[in-house]
Structure 1
Amino acid sequence: MNALRIIIHLSIALIAIALGQPLAFAEQDNSKVIKLGMSTALSGPAQNIGQQLYKGSSIYFNKVNNAGGINGAEIQLLVANDNYEPKQTVNNTRTFIYSDKVDALFGAMGTPTSHAIIPLLEQSKIPFLMPFSGASFLHDKSRANIFNLRASYNDEAAEQIKYLVEERKHTKIGLFIQADEFGLYVESGLRKELAKYDLSPIKVARYQRNSHDVASALNALQTSGVTAICLVGTYAPLGEFINSAHAKNFAPDYTSVSFVPSFDLFGEVTTPSHIMVTEIVPNPLTCNDNFCNEFLADMQANKITKPNRLHFEGYINAMAFSRAAANCKLPLQHSCLLKELNSLLINDKIIKKFFIDTKNKNKRNVYRSYYVNK
């Protein structure tokens, strides 16, 4: 099967978006196929996240397919747009599970979207692999069909509060929070970390998901006297908040979690600012590892001129799936796949190096990116 039919280009994806349907593939003669379903944002305020994660994964899977697939089976990555809206994620997931009969759900984007499909995950027991969220319910060990590589939002919160309190010496810290499950889970982690320093948020202000309505929250935080703000949202409204704050002569220090790609956030900011973003994969442009060089070569071969951490995370997710699945017999069994994925955290050198904290094997690595006085 031609690789172009396996790896869906975004131009095709946008046609399916207009029709409101998941992308699908023509029937194959070869019965040895592994299907993955990816519900993500291909349009709307968070589209850069979904598009770049998808692109990174598809490039790796395309390479695997061109080399003969996994034990002779081709990987089909079905992608469906959910616009970062939970209701559409539920619809997409139902289609993946019951119509497309995918072997696993892969690379889903977002906390509220992931939270909305928990009943489907519990009912179907289908593997839910490498979601783009660090929410604590996705790290609940009782949910054996969920597999994470990325650090939790609690890990990121610990890094942010350490930075603001110990390194930047702030005690008056506020929160600017997306008003949904994403915001609540990150807020919980931030509050717990602040409490370790006998602190609590001076002010918590919220805004609606998929909106740019930040004015009232900005006014509330500015009048509260905070000197630093932890940001929880998507890159466009956060960028608008920072730029608007500067226009009002309000210049606190900022932090943000990895859900906001630093390069996208920094691209939105047009004013001098101090921002630290916690990250969950190393910067592939400065990473000293042969796997990073392999990633960059594949991006160049696919004419990606500005490869970034999102491409890299999607690429790593696809690599992890492929290595785990290669150790399982066909047809792919859920129990074998999940067992082999978990073994990667112990035995795979790349996964251990990038994700596992060498000082505490129960924690995942957290990296940093900075924007300072552009």
Structure 2
Amino acid sequence: MLTINHFKITAIKCLCICTLLLPQIALAEHAQPTIKLGMSTALTGPAKQIGEQLALGSNIYFNKINKENGINGQSIDLILADDGYEPKNTVVNTREFLFDQKIHAIFGSMGTPTAHAIKPILDRHRIPFLMPFTGADFLHNSSMPNVFNLRASYQDEAIEQINYFVKERKHEKIGLMIQADEFGYMVENNLVNALKIHGIKPVEVARFKRNSDDISKALALLKESKATAICLVGTYEPLAEFINAANKQNFNPDYTSVSFVSSHDLYQRVKQPANIMVTEVVPDPNNCKNPWCKQFIEDIEPYHTSANRIIFEGYLNAVALVSAAQKCPTPLNNQCLLTELTHLFTDTSEFADLFNSHSAGNNKKIYRSYFKK
């Protein structure tokens, strides 16, 4: 037989259990879904240091924000996938992001040929494609409203390089050394157009295969052309190989390259005397007075690595996303995110000042770095 005391004890037990569960129930009710970002990039192969550094920079800021309760209570999960800078792998990774991982956006992906390969997927699914590490022309037009670019276009970089060669260095015999893929062809087209403005044609256009350092044929062609200046289009390993091999053959033209090369990694590999100018899309964080440069230097310190432009760009990509997302309702809405991202360049904040150009003809700022030895 059940007694009154038994009912009292049972009631007290239930009250205790319910009291213990209340915080968990409340937490579940207020927990917000994670913001999932998919980043397909080179984590292996001869361009892996670009991908690794971009991911590091973004995670430095995302980790900081996650420790501070995320974006309006939503944590950020940057899901990395290695594509080795090969388009076919990027397609596989992107499909997995969309159908298995259920990501909110593709973020910080690296490369023009890789972006070109997934363009049909982007067009079909209208998934936000945020801060790609490329200045490709097709990502800088209104036909892809789901794309947000932080960096300048290759057109802007090409104009800066040709003006440097023609106006400042007084060169007329300019050659091109081009990676043979969509990246190379797009930058080549912009360089040729920039040369036309000055009434000049390239004295030679030589090509080499992506993800290889077989530059011997290209070097022979450009040396024979007697070019006094060469625009280099590729990644750090083959371009460093070209510069070092050219010097050993007593061929020492002036060089330029676009920001994609990773000037930090290129300069580390150039072992011979050379005069190189690389167009950059972010300033050197070690010599920059903008408050975001100073904040980056503070935030990178616990990671025990040297600050450079590639890591800084990855960091700023994360800053841009967080800054925009914080102005949107929870859970995060993609259309609001894209709208707020565009506002980053319409105000006078310290962030906009890093990228907005105040000179006629350029939409975004172009910086420079130099190597002289």
Q: By the TM > 0.5 criterion, same fold?
A: yes
> Is the contact between residue 34 and residue 74 of structure 2 (CA under 8 Å) also seen in structure 1?
yes
Per-residue Cα deviation, 1:148-185 (whole angstroms, up to 9, x for no partner): 01000000000000000000000000000000000000
1:346 aligned onto 2:353: no
For the residue of structure 1 that corresponds to 2:143, the secondary structure is coil
For the residue of structure 2 that corresponds to 1:78, the secondary structure is strand
Q: How far apart are 1:284 and its partner, in Å?
A: 0.1
Match of 1:368 in 2: 368
Match of 2:317 in 1: 317
Pairs aligned (count): 345
User: Which structure has the larger Rg over C-alpha atoms?
Assistant: 2
1:247 aligned onto 2:248: yes
Task: Tell me the amino acid that sits aligned with residue 333 of structure 1.
Answer: N
Q: Distance in 2 between matches of 1:170 and 1:46?
A: 31
Match of 2:113 in 1: 112
1:251-266 maps to which residues of 2 (within 5 A)? 251-266=252-267
1:10-89 maps to which residues of 2 (within 5 A)? 30-89=31-90
Match of 1:5 in 2: none
Q: How far apart are 1:301 and its partner, in Å?
A: 1.9
1:1-374 maps to which residues of 2 (within 5 A)? 30-304=31-305, 306-347=306-347, 349-360=349-360, 363-372=363-372, 374=373
Q: How far apart are 1:352 and its partner, in Å?
A: 1.8
For the residue of structure 2 that corresponds to 1:259, the secondary structure is helix
Match of 1:26 in 2: none
Give the % identical residues. 54
Q: How far apart are 1:289 and its partner, in Å?
A: 2.0
Q: How far apart are 1:31 and its partner, in Å?
A: 4.5
Task: Tell me the amino acid that sits aligned with residue 316 of structure 1.
Answer: L
Of the structure 1 ranges 212-221 and 341-350, higher mean CA displacement relative to structure 2 is found in 341-350
Per-residue Cα deviation, 1:338-368 (whole angstroms, up to 9, x for no partner): 0000011112613321111013486100000
Task: Give the CA RMSD over aligned residues.
Answer: 1.3
For the residue of structure 1 that corresponds to 2:207, the secondary structure is strand
Q: Distance in 1 between matches of 2:299 and 2:124?
A: 38
Where do 5+ consecutive residues of structure 1 fail to align?
Answer: 1-28
| Change beyond 3 A, Cα 1:97–1:36 | same
For the residue of structure 1 that corresponds to 2:344, the secondary structure is helix
Q: How far apart are 1:199 and its partner, in Å?
A: 0.4
Per-residue Cα deviation, 1:179-211 (whole angstroms, up to 9, x for no partner): 000000000100000000000111000000000
Q: Distance in 1 between matches of 2:361 and 2:326?
A: 25
Task: Tell me the amino acid that sits aligned with residue 107 of structure 1.
Answer: G
Q: Distance in 2 between matches of 1:149 and 1:97?
A: 23
Task: Tell me the amino acid that sits aligned with residue 104 of structure 1.
Answer: A
> Is the contact between residue 292 and residue 351 of structure 2 (CA under 8 Å) also seen in structure 1?
no
Per-residue Cα deviation, 1:231-256 (whole angstroms, up to 9, x for no partner): 00010000000000001110000000
Task: Tell me the amino acid that sits aligned with residue 322 of structure 1.
Answer: V
Q: How far apart are 1:331 and its partner, in Å?
A: 2.3
Q: How far apart are 1:32 and its partner, in Å?
A: 2.1
For the residue of structure 2 that corresponds to 1:345, the secondary structure is coil
Q: Distance in 2 between matches of 1:72 and 1:100?
A: 20
For the residue of structure 2 that corresponds to 1:339, the secondary structure is helix
Of the structure 1 ranges 44-53 and 358-367, higher mean CA displacement relative to structure 2 is found in 358-367
For the residue of structure 2 that corresponds to 1:285, the secondary structure is helix
Q: Distance in 2 between matches of 1:359 and 1:350?
A: 18
Per-residue Cα deviation, 1:283-316 (whole angstroms, up to 9, x for no partner): 0000012221110011112222x11001100000
Per-residue Cα deviation, 1:255-283 (whole angstroms, up to 9, x for no partner): 00000111111111001100000000000
Task: Tell me the amino acid that sits aligned with residue 243 of structure 1.
Answer: N
| Change beyond 3 A, Cα 1:85–1:285 | same
- The TM-score with structure 2 as length reference comes to 0.91
| Greater helix proportion | 2
- The TM-score with structure 1 as length reference comes to 0.90
Runs of 4+ in 1 over 3 A off after TM superposition: none
> Is the contact between residue 81 and residue 93 of structure 2 (CA under 8 Å) also seen in structure 1?
yes
Q: Distance in 1 between matches of 2:121 and 2:351?
A: 29
Q: Distance in 2 between matches of 1:101 and 1:46?
A: 28
Match of 1:12 in 2: none
Q: Distance in 1 between matches of 2:260 and 2:362?
A: 21
> Is the contact between residue 290 and residue 354 of structure 2 (CA under 8 Å) also seen in structure 1?
no
Match of 2:3 in 1: none
Of the structure 1 ranges 350-359 and 101-110, higher mean CA displacement relative to structure 2 is found in 350-359
